[in-house]
Chains A and B, each alone.
Chain A
Amino acid sequence: MQMFVAVVCGLIFGWGLLISGMLQPTKVIGFLDIFGSWDASLAVVMAAALVVSGVGFWITAARERPILAARSMWPTKRDVDAPLVIGAALFGVGWGLVGLCPGPALENLATLSPRVIAFVVAMAFGMVSHSLWDEIRSGRRRGRAEITVGADG
């Protein structure tokens, strides 16, 4: 049942990206190009998503537990640390270079565009590299407290 919900959520999320035009990298670049002919659409997408999920999360948080799971896995990290800052900066550089972030990149695989496939393979390589690097780093710190790999999303 949880699998079914996940597929439906992926579909709705995908339709959202599609209808909003965010599958097209040039549309995203149009938003990021504040010194050119600025296209504010992405800001509207984020604002609408924030209003709906803000209310939705507020309702969800008021419940004792999710409908299908034992407990809600809300992210637990609170502090603004160096990995957050450096990671977000690197992510932004990549996003600005091509206009693709993970959601639209994966969804655009459906177009079988060779450049999208290359981007997704490179993105997967970047993620696996991070995991390996993180393992080596935490291996060196063995003996100290277990490092929580609690991501934000």
Chain B
Amino acid sequence: MANFTPVSAAIGGALIGLAATLLMLFNGRVAGISGILATCLNGRGSNIGWNAAFIVGLVLAPLTASLAGFPIAIPQMPDNWALVVAAGVLVGFGSRLGGGCTSGHGVCGMARLSVRSAVATAIFMATAVSVVAMSRHVIGV
């Protein structure tokens, strides 16, 4: 547990919970990022406006952070482009088929004690842990 950072994790998590609360309290909407992006992509309905606005805020966050003096690290990802693309397609298709991702099911759904969301979260955690176990400790990528 050399890299365990509980304090920043708790502060960051609380902010995520606060954002989800405010979006529900003011706009009556669930802060599920996969649903928000899919609404923008599908290009219909009257909700594209606020969905796009949320994504703008999300992308602006690191920019405001770097202005405030927080260093923003370049994300470290696999060298294999095919792997990156395949993972992206799986995340996109899977999150829509399953009706949500880490934010929609893992935070918002679980917070309102949804059984569907608890099951979805348990399943995506389990498959993700298995994939990492396979790639790191069996195949040894």
Residue of A nearest to B62 (CB): A110
Task: Name the interface residues of A13-34: CB closer than 8 Å to any CB of B.
Answer: 13-27, 29-30, 32-34
On whether the beta carbons of B57 and A27 are closer than 8 Å, the reply is: no
Q: Please classify the interface of chain B as helix (H, G, I), strand (E, B), loop, or mixed, using the class held by over half of its residues.
A: helix
A9 at the interface (CB under 8 A from B): yes
On whether the beta carbons of A3 and B9 are closer than 8 Å, the reply is: no
Instruction: Give the interface size class of chain A.
Output: 35 or more
The minimal Cβ–Cβ distance linking B66 to chain A, given in whole angstroms, is: 9
On whether the beta carbons of B19 and A13 are closer than 8 Å, the reply is: yes
Residues of B contacting A45 with CB < 8 Å? Answer: 9-10, 12-13, 16
| Interface residue total, chain B, C-beta cutoff 8 A | 114
Give A19-62 as 1s and 0s: 1 = Cβ < 8 Å from B's Cβ atoms: 11111111101101111111111101111111111111101110
| A123-B88 in contact given A3-B53, A22-B12, A102-B33 (Cβ < 8 Å) | yes
Q: Which residues of B contact A (CB under 8 A)?
A: 1-6, 8-35, 37-38, 41-42, 49-51, 53-65, 70, 72-78, 81, 83-112, 114-117, 119-121, 123-133, 135-137
Ranked 7 nearest A-B pairs via Cβ: A153-B104, A10-B57, A153-B32, A126-B92, A14-B61, A20-B12, A87-B98
Q: Which residues of A contact B (CB under 8 A)?
A: 2-27, 29-30, 32-42, 44-57, 59-61, 63, 65-75, 77-80, 83-111, 113, 115-116, 118-131, 134, 150-153
